[in-house]
Structure 1
Amino acid sequence: MRQFSGFFGPYGGQFVPEPVKSMLDELDHAFQKYRNDPEFFDEYQYYLRQYAGRPNPLYFCANLTRHLGGAKIYLKREDLNHLGAHKINNTIGQILLAKRMGKKKIIAETGAGQHGVATAATAALMGMECTIYMGAVDVERQRLNVFRMEMMGARVVPAQSGQKTLKEAVDEAIEAWVREGDAFYLLGSAVGPHPYPLMVREFQAVVGREAREQILAQEGRLPDACIACVGGGSNAIGLFSGFMDDTEVRLIGVEPAGRGLEYGQHAATLCLGEPGTMHGFYSYMLKDASGGPAEVYSISAGLDYPSVGPEHAYLKDSGRAQYVYASDQEAVDAFFLLSRLEGIIPALESAHALAHAVAVAPTLPRDAVLVVNLSGRGDKDVEQVERLVRQGELRIPSL
């Protein structure tokens, strides 16, 4: 599906005050102007190659596949990008766009910190002032990423409202963007009002393009399924975009079931939510008793968001993609399993996708092929996991 009107089926749009709409329209005009401009595309590709380090490998997990005894598991190694995640694909594109719009200041939000780190790095590269909003709770559980952002010259502002996590970081970043007026708001996921979901998808589509070419080269055919974690949904929509028209390829998004499916204990928006409007766009969301955004939780700071990108909502309703969930413990089990069998420590976000692959691979024939998007590396999560294991909240699995 290719959608340029601001909606994906009924989802998306711009549900914002008029002053914000004029700022979004300015951004949309610039994006439509430059997205097919050869000079812009060449510069974007240059930085993806020479700065981010693309293309990254599609890696066959021979040990994990043998251990599970079923389908072949391939990892799209976004963890090998500069700074360790898929986020830089988008920050390069948006900051190059900001330069062409004459902007000097960047405002961004971050959850797990990977988008914040990528934003800080790209802003430093391009000589731009950078302020990043991060939930106060996430500041504490991702201290290393906070220091990395500050090392590269960014100012990190803890969001103190509400649950003090990703939703509140987005709230406060948008408020700052509107207040400052002349800044560029660099949204990190495929959420928000138009044109952000489309723009982020376009800049993350490199993941799917590469994965499609690589699996055809290595297997001589397309995969049976592509699997990615879903919070806001940027890494998943990037992978899915390369296979959207290949209806024989199943697209599977994995949401966080957290500690359980009771209110406030998970962030499984597409699986358990309903349509609604927040942060200026219409999509599935988890709601509280009054219809506002629900309290949510995930062990992964990058997944605890009460809504989801509107294109994912459309893919769910149309049946083109399937959405499932994995618990904290299932993600941690996958976190350790990949570390022990392949020597690769996945981000806790990515471990949710891996957990689903681990569950389904043994049920499939040995010639089946699964592509899992390893959206980031887990260095940032090791201290948190060690602490939770030491406190008895999680267990270390046995092989």
Structure 2
Amino acid sequence: MRDVLQWREPVPLGGTMGEPRARGRFGEYGGRYAPESLVEACREVDEEFREAWADPGFRGALARLLAVHAGRPTPLTPAGRLSEALGVRLYLKREDLTHTGSHKINNVLGQALLATRMGRRRLIAETGAGQHGVATATAAALLGLEATVFMGERDIERQALNVFRMRMLGAEVVPVTTGSRTLKDATSEAMRHWVGATGDSHYCIGSVIGPDPYPWMVREFQRVIGDEARGQCAAELRTGVPDYVVACVGGGSNAAGTFAGFADTPARLVGVEAAGGAGAARGRLGVLHGCRSLFLQDDDGQITQAHSIAAGLDYPGVGPEHAHLRDLGRARYVTVTDDEAVGAAVRLARAEGIVPALESAHALAWVIRAAGDGDLPAGSTVLMTLSGRGDKDVSTLKELL
């Protein structure tokens, strides 16, 4: 399937992926569309985050946790055999090697530290693939906090391993039985629960969605991916910067964190969405979960159901900063089918000995397809964020292969 959206020239440099404008705006997107009962809570999170992010003590404590608990920095791995087969130089930023098995731990450790700074004793979270839930449960156990994780009933069924991990870590997992019983509905339930629990709880949103300051705050906590990769590429590549930077996109936190490290370079940024959940590629302007962005909608403006074999991409929209990057032409957003993602997961496993999460396999599927049809010129250097490991998807893959 060819993607309609093409590159705009020249690729703009600078002026992107900094602090949002007033009221948390990225162009026409973002904002704080929260119920009145949450406006004060969001304002407090905003003020506390700004103070913490400017505090060397907070930044140092987070850096130490990321090093000694999460295992950062993660390596940059050359995919030698796959590169030779595709005719490009592919490098993998290995977020699958972090503690808990995905990039989610970067953001959660930051928000958990912020919660303790604010005097909160409980973390509330939503999860789709379960990785954010596991990371939240892990951080809560580490810092002596309680954790309540909302998860769609359908995702509980297909991510049983991660549900067990959350409960073993001491978290309460709340099944969500409304709507599509997936990530969208889990997010809605978590936000509703937060309304009555702002006094003692912090809502630890897992992606670059939600009311201001969450899209910006989560991106900043995930920026460690892009900053590390930028330094690693400078040491590894003759040009210092890859030609393409690729990451999968659901809400879009791993992509936002990766892109942030390269926004001021000539690298072309590519976000890869699931064909059944392509908010950036096919969404319309709307408001959901506290922010204005691009969402899948029907002709009456009602949010329509997303679909992806990857639970973490099963979201009917995209974070507001991604919508803004799309409008600027700074990033291109493309789609991949379930079958392509499964095929890419198998190919990486057999070529490089790495079993990726199905979310990450979407990004690889686009690289494979683009190398084959000429969208990636021969000899290009490609940095791809491998956002998570595939343990959680083994039962799904076993049924298909």
Task: Give the corresponding residue for 1:74.
Answer: 91
Which of residues 212, 225, 228 is equivalent to 2:230? 212
2:183 is aligned with 1:171: no
1:241-256 alignment, distance < 5 Å: 241-246=260-265, 248-256=266-274
Size of the alignment, in residue pairs? Answer: 379
Task: Give the corresponding residue for 1:305.
Answer: 315
1:376-395 alignment, distance < 5 Å: 376-387=388-399, 389=400
Runs of 5+ unmatched residues, structure 2: 1-15
Task: Give the corresponding residue for 2:386.
Answer: 374
Q: CA RMSD in A?
A: 0.9
Deviation per residue, 1:168-215 (Å, 9 max, x gap): 000110111111222100000000110000000000000000111111
Which of residues 212, 219, 231 is equivalent to 1:201? 219
**How far apart are 1:44 and its partner, in Å?**
0.2
**Any idea what SS the aligned residue of 1:133 has?**
strand
**How far apart are 1:366 and its partner, in Å?**
4.6
**Any idea what SS the aligned residue of 1:358 has?**
helix
Deviation per residue, 1:5-48 (Å, 9 max, x gap): 30101100011222211110011010011111010000000000
Task: Give the corresponding residue for 2:11.
Answer: none
What is the distance in 2 between the residues matched to 1:143 and 1:235?
23
What is the distance in 2 between the residues matched to 1:153 and 1:241?
34
Task: Give the corresponding residue for 1:348.
Answer: 358
What is the distance in 2 between the residues matched to 1:338 and 1:275?
36
What is the distance in 2 between the residues matched to 1:120 and 1:234?
19
Task: Give the corresponding residue for 1:21.
Answer: 39
Task: Give the corresponding residue for 1:34.
Answer: 52
1:99-118 alignment, distance < 5 Å: 99-118=116-135
With 10-19 and 140-149 compared, the bigger mean Cα shift is at 10-19
1:267-282 alignment, distance < 5 Å: 267-282=277-292
Task: Give the corresponding residue for 2:300.
Answer: 290
What is the distance in 1 between the residues matched to 2:320 and 2:378?
35
Which of residues 244, 247, 258 is equivalent to 1:225? 244
What is the distance in 2 between the residues matched to 1:129 and 1:290?
40
TM-score scaled by length of structure 2 = 0.93
The one-letter code matched in structure 2 to 1:325 is: T
Contact 1:288 1:295 in 2 (8 A): no
**Any idea what SS the aligned residue of 1:323 has?**
strand
1:128-147 alignment, distance < 5 Å: 128-147=145-164
Contact 1:64 1:338 in 2 (8 A): yes
The one-letter code matched in structure 1 to 2:367 is: A
**How far apart are 1:288 and its partner, in Å?**
2.6
What is the distance in 1 between the residues matched to 2:35 and 2:365?
41
Contact 1:271 1:324 in 2 (8 A): yes
Contact 1:72 1:361 in 2 (8 A): no
Deviation per residue, 1:216-263 (Å, 9 max, x gap): 1011321000000000000000100000011x2100000001xxxxxx
What is the distance in 2 between the residues matched to 1:131 and 1:232?
21
Which of residues 15, 18, 27 is equivalent to 1:9? 27
**Any idea what SS the aligned residue of 1:330 has?**
helix
What is the distance in 1 between the residues matched to 2:310 and 2:379?
32
The one-letter code matched in structure 2 to 1:291 is: G
**Any idea what SS the aligned residue of 2:272 has?**
strand
Task: Give the corresponding residue for 1:44.
Answer: 62
What is the distance in 1 between the residues matched to 2:70 and 2:298?
40
**How far apart are 1:365 and its partner, in Å?**
4.7
2:193 is aligned with 1:181: no
2:350 is aligned with 1:333: no
What is the distance in 2 between the residues matched to 1:300 and 1:291?
25
Which of residues 315, 319, 322 is equivalent to 2:325? 315
What is the distance in 2 between the residues matched to 1:278 and 1:235?
20
2:204 is aligned with 1:192: no
**Any idea what SS the aligned residue of 1:180 has?**
coil
What is the distance in 1 between the residues matched to 2:294 and 2:114?
29
What is the distance in 2 between the residues matched to 1:336 and 1:345?
7
2:259 is aligned with 1:240: yes
What is the distance in 2 between the residues matched to 1:167 and 1:276?
14
Task: Give the corresponding residue for 1:393.
Answer: none
Deviation per residue, 1:268-301 (Å, 9 max, x gap): 1111111111111000000134312111110010
Deviation per residue, 1:46-103 (Å, 9 max, x gap): 00000000001110000111122x1101000000000100000000000000000000
**Any idea what SS the aligned residue of 1:236 has?**
helix
